[in-house]
Structure 1
């Protein structure tokens, strides 16, 4: 390669390389220039939007990782132009494919003068197909010497310039397609997400769980205490709801004879939005006949630890500067002991609802008059204890009043055989020894229905068909729900749930 060829790399003549912020008027002019270029190509009979296919055989990282074997070999690639450096009769472009970027060297005498002149009109953002030979430049960069070049798609928009990048968080979420182009680490996060979901499924399938699908549209939004989204089915003239949980359908399958089932999918809750909450989110629930709460603990800690080990290569993770050891077994702590530890109230000594309400007033809880002893314990825990749960830790002993689907603890019928798992003060899992007593279940549904009719729009509605299923007979069963998004936030060290959902819910502009 000549000295002139090496100097090409220092020439920057594309509008996206400018170190200035363009005005909207300037951007509109550049967009028009691109449309004019497209029109010229179409008039020449070279409309890129009529191209249907390109036989991609090679990718950037594979070429770089296997350079010794591929040096001098012909490769066929495709990608988006991310940088363009030209001078005279030769140019360099960087193309970006699914694996990363690779430099391509284009000489006029290698693709004909006519083709080279057309190539000079290509813009950053255009998608091209190339055929060329692998080589290493005098500067040591693995590159492709192009002898065939084709425009596969014309970009009519202006990508953010490389110096300022795409930093505006709101635009990144709204235009994820641009975010993925400009920020390689974002793409890596979603690749990790996919790998983690595969590992969860692999773990469960290794334990003989069957993956199933249950309804997303329902007439009764049960399985959790949350406000549903409501829609209307025109043909049936029937109000329907998007599911807030898939629990009750999965339990019906256990009744029907499937001993181990799970489903991962979207749930919908018409609630607030923050760094840990999106109205549409991914959850996984599983149910194991003849299992109990301890079996669910074993699955939870081993599943998350295995995912971390197999995807990240370690069970020691770091999240936003804090370190966590996911190695099983995890700590166990009862909700009542947590309240005693961090609030200073011993509910072994507080046995009546009246006494509990006085404690609630002392600690400035709201709506005290409607509370029972169990409600007060839970409210104190949520208000004053969760912030200390760095974890990983299992919180057990939830009051029966806040656990309408969990089996009572035979040692203390005021609490249930339930746990919630916490890491970084976040609840990431919820599990029960499932309530299978239809009489008890009906009574709890009835109490929840009364709360619903009294204005608590997050109370659990009556589901008589589910009670009927329990009357048919649900074997002793362990059930587990895991907030998949929250686990992925932690394992990818992402600041917000919006960073691990490709298209998070956004208010229209």
Structure 2
């Protein structure tokens, strides 16, 4: 590698001596490669079109055959062939120093270099639209060669660490992040058009809340103040609803000090949406319409395929209570259990694990759901009516004691969205948060604390509100047929590489 780099450095010095960069200030392309491909699709084989075009991009491949050479140049929109003819180049630049214009481009330009070219268009006898180059400019000399091979498990870690290389050599990777950008912009437009305002809330917080998650801790030196990174945007967005904003959302980064898996990254993106005078049934309709719209905008259809399985996102979606789903999967009716011991014994008899931290019938219901139901929910399914113990910020169910008006959306076995009829009773909310604080004091690192300022805001009065959170990364996984969350985060968190040990 060092020898190759040295060779390229020498070429860079030669280019500099010839007045060719090797690092240009600017170049003005007249077209993208895709625009040329589309505009001149009618050019017949073997014919030329006397137009003047300028394109810029990275040299991906090069073939030199005597007095002809063929390079592949790729910009963001795709590739195009460069047709390099010695006679044409030298006629256009007769005063070029040795080895001449053709010799310079064929000996000093390597795969990986960024160049700009000007010329006319030619359709080769094989049907390849090409820029017939009459002049060229080195824009940035690459000192490192591109990977020769870029596939297989052996390269997965390097793909994440050197994402720029992955993007250069893999159009699929670039398409994944293009779709991610389109999904985010489509979501914002849809919400903005319906009167929702995006308002930013603090990332640094003195009291984390809005989710059951362990926060990252930091310290503000000037104020000598311990702070955490936010684990949700919920409590501040609710303060905005108290303040008079009836439709508000924020799409941004969330930070949770948790493990890493194909579904979890400590830094991820979510959107939280709050609508005054609405409840969780309104949020179900909003979720269906919003995600179907985003899928249509990004994929051109609501019928997609994920890891070989057909998924239909056109509404309406299945709706089922957690109790009904668990009973269907296990035969256990958790509404009949009056004590934790009774529920635990029934679960053990069915071969289900009974964690000690699941200290109530409601928490055991959620455990049974996660063990036996969650992975089976492939088509979009709203799972309704969670136990109150697992939902400290959701309103008590209007007709089912012990439950709250909450749903989670599952697609391909993954939670994709979470929504409540929001709890607006400040006294009930205080009791719930104090119970969470007790769990935290007992050692539950993910339990929430008591946010006195939020409770004071609720005492001012919050209108009936529906709230919704959607995981952007998991949604993009679905829309891009990506198996791992790392595939849809441009720069996922990784452990530092260990230095190689000498022999």
- Identify the TM-score tier after normalising by the shorter chain: over 0.9
1:12-59 deviation line (CA, Å, top 9, x unaligned): xxxxxxxxxxxxxxx32111111111122234443322x210011211
The residue correspondences of 1:147-158 to structure 2 (distance < 5 A) are 147-158=134-145
Pick aligned residue for 1:499 from 480, 484, 487: 487
Matches of 1:482 and 1:321 in 2, distance apart?
24
TM norm structure 1: 0.91
Q: Aligned with 1:274: secondary structure?
A: coil
Cα distance in 1 for partners of 2:19, 2:136 equals: 16
Deviation of 1:361 after TM superposition, in Å, equals 4.7
**Is the Cα contact below 8 Å between 1:160 and 1:166 reproduced in 2?**
no
Contact 1:284-1:481 at 8 Å conserved across structures:
yes
Unaligned 5+ segments in structure 1 are 1-26
- Equivalent residue number for residue 417 of structure 1: 405
- Structure 1 residue 301: Cα displacement: 1.1
**CA deviation after TM superposition for structure 1 residue 352, in Å:** 3.3
Displacement of 1:230 in angstroms is: 0.8
Give 1:370 deviation, angstroms.
6.2
Check conservation: 1:292, 1:476, Cα contact below 8 A: yes
Q: Contact 1:222–1:463 at 8 Å: present in 2 too?
A: yes
Query: 1:119 maps to what in 2?
Result: 105
- Per-residue Cα deviation, 1:71-103 (whole angstroms, up to 9, x for no partner): 431111101111111133332211110111101
Q: Distance in 1 between matches of 2:450 and 2:479?
A: 37
Of 112-121 and 197-206, deviating more is: 112-121
- Find the partner of 1:471 among 448, 459, 471: 459
* Counterpart residue number, 1:33: 7
- 8 Å Cα contact 2:354/2:364 also seen in 1: no
For the pair 1:87 / 2:65, whether they are aligned, the reply is yes
Cα separation, 2, equivalents of 1:428 and 1:54: 44
Q: Could you report, residue by residue, the CA deviation over 1:159-204 in whole angstroms, capped at 9, with x for unpaired residues?
A: 112xx33541111111111111111111111111111111111221
The separation in 2 between residues aligned to 1:415 and 1:74, in whole angstroms, is 70
1:61 — aligned with what?
A: 34
Partner deviation per Cα, 1:227-274 (whole Å, 9 max, x = no partner): 111111111112211111000000000000000001111111111111
Give how far 1:156 is off. Answer: 0.2
Secondary structure of 1:348's aligned partner: helix
1:369 positional shift: 7.6
Kindly report the root-mean-square deviation, in angstroms, between the aligned alpha carbons of the 2 structures.
1.6
Q: Which residue of 2 aligns with 1:433?
A: 421
Aligned pairs for 1:57-456 (under 5 A) are 57-67=30-40, 71-112=49-90, 114-120=100-106, 121-161=108-148, 164-167=149-152, 168-362=155-349, 363-368=351-356, 371-456=359-444
Q: 1:325 and 1:44 mapped to 2: Cα distance?
A: 59
Distance in structure 1 (CA, Å) of the matches to 2:137 and 2:357? 74
Q: How many residues align?
A: 480
Q: CA deviation at 1:443?
A: 0.5
1:277-315 Cα shifts (integer Å, max 9, x gaps): 111111010000001001100011111111112221211
* Distance of 1:93 and 1:56 partners within structure 2: 18
Which residue number in structure 1 is paired with residue 449 of structure 2? 461
CA distance in 1, matches of 2:146, 2:192: 43
Q: How many Å apart are 1:355 and its aligned residue? A: 2.6
CA distance in 2: counterparts of 1:87 and 1:347, whole angstroms: 76
> SS at 2:334's partner residue?
coil
CA 1:245/1:32 → structure 2, altered by over 3 Å: closer, same or farther? Answer: same
Distance 2:314 2:105 in 1: 55
Q: 1:369 to 1:189 in 2, by over 3 A?
A: closer
SS of 2:338's partner is coil
Moved more, 443-452 or 116-125: 116-125
Matched residue SS, 2:365: helix
**In 2: Cα distance, 1:205 partner to 1:434 partner:** 22
Encode CA deviations 1:451-505: one digit per residue, 9 max, x unaligned.
0010000001110110001000110000000011111101111111111111111
Higher mean Cα deviation, 424-433 or 197-206? 197-206
Cα deviation per residue 1:133-163 (whole Å; 9 max; x = unaligned)?
Answer: 11211221111111111111100001112xx
Q: Could you tell me whether the CA contact under 8 Å between 1:166 and 1:172 is conserved in 2?
A: no
**2 CA distance for matches of 1:158 and 1:483?**
37
Give the SS at the match of 1:29: helix
Once residues 343 and 192 of structure 1 are traced to their aligned partners in structure 2, the CA distance between those partners, rounded to angstroms, is 39
Contact 1:293 1:432 in 2 (8 A): yes
TM-score norm. by structure 2 comes to 0.92
Q: Is the 8 A contact 1:166 1:182 kept in 2?
A: no
